[in-house]
Amino acid sequence: MRVYVFSLLTTLMFATPVLAVDARIENAWVRPTVPGQKVAGAFMDISAERDLELVTVATPVAAAVELHFMRMDGERMEMRELESIRLPAGKTVRLEPGGLHAMLIGLKAPLGGGDSVPMTLTVRDGAGKQSTIEITLTVAAPRG
């Protein structure tokens, strides 16, 4: 048991550098939902140190996650699904209400304020090599 705990800790310590993929995630949050609501937007700031592309997002709390882009076209809200989101080196890409976001689809339970949502981001570099980033989002109402 002791050996197991030690090896788990070692794994965690080596796994911690999200820096392995040269991307930092900040301000990660998900909107709270009301009972019966099956979708929710997830938002965060992603800063990549080298050119990466966000290709997949997954969370155990939803059946699927899609990458979406939203904008207002006059009075009409337009939302479309993206295959990936480019993360240019040295820039902060904001996933925020009214713009880019990750859409949780098929929520298994309502998300209440203060809940934590684990999420796995898969990024790909220019050579096609993929890495994953594990993050935790807080369920919170939009700020401001």
Toward Cu ion, which CB reaches closer, 63 or 79?
79
Q: Structure tokens of 114? A: 């203060």
Q: Does 67 bind Cu ion (CB under 5 A)?
A: no
**Contact present, 42 and 95 (Cβ < 8 Å):** yes
Scanning residues 101 to 140, which ones bind Cu ion (CB under 5 A)? Answer: 103
Q: Name the segment binding Cu ion (CB under 5 A); options: 5-13, 82-90, 98-106, 117-125.
A: 98-106
What does the per-residue mask of binding to Cu ion show for 3-42, with x meaning CB under 5 A? ----------------------------------------
**Contact present, 109 and 102 (Cβ < 8 Å):** no
Scanning residues 72 to 91, which ones bind Cu ion (CB under 5 A)? Answer: 79
- The residue written with tokens 């050119």 in the block is 51
Quote the least distance from Cβ 85 to Cu ion, whole Å: 13
- Residues of 85-114 as b/e, b for ≥16 C-beta within 10 angstroms? bebeeeeebebbeeebbbbbeebeeebeee
Which residues lie near Cu ion (CB under 5 A)? 68, 79, 103
